A and B are shown apart, each in its own frame.
Chain A
């Protein structure tokens, strides 16, 4: 079944299995899943993962969109279903639906500078966008990435982040909220990195993390001259069906699963702080 067919059969769960599992931090892990046949996705889209006998959970895709041999998902174990996913080992079965939603504005970003700001687990959905940019590097202008974590032990994709820092074609700044004296990098919240980023007035920003972090970041970007329409954030809502049927993710007249999760800050700002609508 191709992605087009999967998209036309949106409630269909495809049985698949775990290929690999990596523990990223104390509570966060990455699984590689055998993708349903013909599966493809755009950066920022999400899937519904089904753990047999436990339940279903929406998870953003954190892998390389050009890779068709694996579907990569980074998950923080914070509830019954995500904890159950965390216990899965290579070879274990699970179900996948999707991909769903509106992802990062990769097309709109072509030819323009890109600013990517991630906080904590928020780096996961942004990683797909970073892969996409690096796979087609010449299509984008300056690329500045700022990421923040609570502590050095909580840095996600730590080897990859160090690898990206060595590259000459992107600029990556990393900060932690607090550290011991062996840490040699910056300490402070991620918004403190924003004054150091390079971009032109037509740049596109992609921001992901907890809502409060996105709100502060988007406002700091706006203070540096970003138009709110050029700042994109990824909204997290309680998603169930993923296809606009159940209403669990509704805000106003929109459903986050259909109109999001990625939205321009100009539309998302008023939703921050609204828990359920």
Chain B
């Protein structure tokens, strides 16, 4: 599935990467499209991918049992879905359900793990970018907790 085609890999997460690192990304990336209602991942499943979204909307949600399904965030163009592939035990913490057809660059997380372990410069660049994603998601979650419309 990887296309190896760096011309087609365009996403804010990858801005500023060197050609060498882009080639490494391209070696384990491919474009894909997902239809409404499809699950990109389910809670507890093995997390082996990241999705760099270029169109559509993906809901991050959890089935709260008696509370029903709760959506806590939606991701769209320019967002990134998936950082569970980075950290052990590499399992998804949320369900990712397509609300509007999603177009995304899919990254093979297992291949990325191997490459970042072998090339620490690459690993640093990658973790810097994913840390920013995690940071902004954390900030949004904190604001939701603060109940800012109360």
A67 at the interface (CB under 8 A from B): no
Complex contacts, A43 vs chain B, CB 8 Å: none
Known: A181-B59, A181-B61. A187 touches B149 (CB 8 A): no
The answer to whether B71 touches A178, judged by C-beta atoms less than 8 angstroms apart, is: yes
Q: Report Cα–Cα, A244/B69, bound state, in Å.
A: 50
- A188-B149 CB under 8 A given contacts A179-B71, A183-B71: no
Is A99's beta carbon under 8 Å from chain B? no
Q: Contact between B71 and A180 (Cβ–Cβ < 8 Å)?
A: yes
Q: Are B148 and A181 in contact (CB under 8 A)?
A: no
Q: Name the residue in A122, A154, A216 with the highest tally of chain B Cβ atoms < 10 Å from its Cβ.
A: A216
Residue of A nearest to B77 (CB): A196
A150 pairs with B149, CB closer than 8 A: yes
Query: B-side binding surface: helix, strand, loop or mixed?
Result: strand
Interface status of B74 (Cβ within 8 A of chain A): yes
Selected contact of A187 from candidates B74, B78, B100, B143, CB within 8 Å: B74
Q: How far is the CA of A154 from the CA of B97 in the complex (A)?
A: 24
Residue of B nearest to A182 (CB): B69
For A121, A150, A178, A187, the residue with the greatest tally of chain B CB atoms inside 10 Å of its CB is A187
**Chain B interface, number of residues (Cβ within 8 angstroms):** 24
Evaluate contact between A187 and B73: CB separation under 8 angstroms: yes
Known contacts A191-B143, A216-B143: A181-B71 contact under CB 8 Å: yes
Which residues on the A side are within 8 Å of B148 (C-beta)?
Answer: 119, 148, 189-190, 209-210, 212-213, 216
Interface presence of A226 (CB below 8 A): no
Give the Cβ gap from A187 to chain B, nearest Cβ, in Å: 5
Bound-state Cα–Cα, A119 to B148, Å:
8
Say yes or no for A141: interface residue by CB 8 A criterion.
no
Contact B149 A119 (CB under 8 A): yes
Residues from chain B with Cβ under 8 Å of A177 in the complex? 144, 147, 149
User: When the two chains form their complex, are residues A192 and B140 in contact, meaning their CB atoms are under 8 A apart?
Assistant: yes
- A149 CB–B CB distance under 8 Å: yes
A270 at the interface (CB under 8 A from B): no
Q: Do residues B72 and A187 form an inter-chain contact, with CB atoms below 8 A?
A: yes
Q: How far is the CA of A181 from the CA of B37 in the complex (A)?
A: 11
Contact: A149 with B74, CB < 8 Å?
A: no
Judge if A186 is at the interface, Cβ distance under 8 Å.
yes
Residue of B nearest to A175 (CB): B74
Interface residues of A in 105-137 (CB under 8 A from B): 119-122
Interface of A toward B, CB cutoff 8 Å: 119-122, 148-150, 154, 177-181, 183-192, 195, 209-210, 212-213, 216
- List 12 interface pairs A-B (beta carbons < 8 Å), by A numbering: A150-B147, A154-B149, A177-B144, A178-B144, A179-B71, A181-B61, A185-B74, A186-B57, A187-B72, A189-B143, A213-B148, A216-B148
6 smallest beta-carbon distances between A and B, as pairs: A120-B149, A181-B69, A213-B148, A189-B143, A187-B74, A187-B71
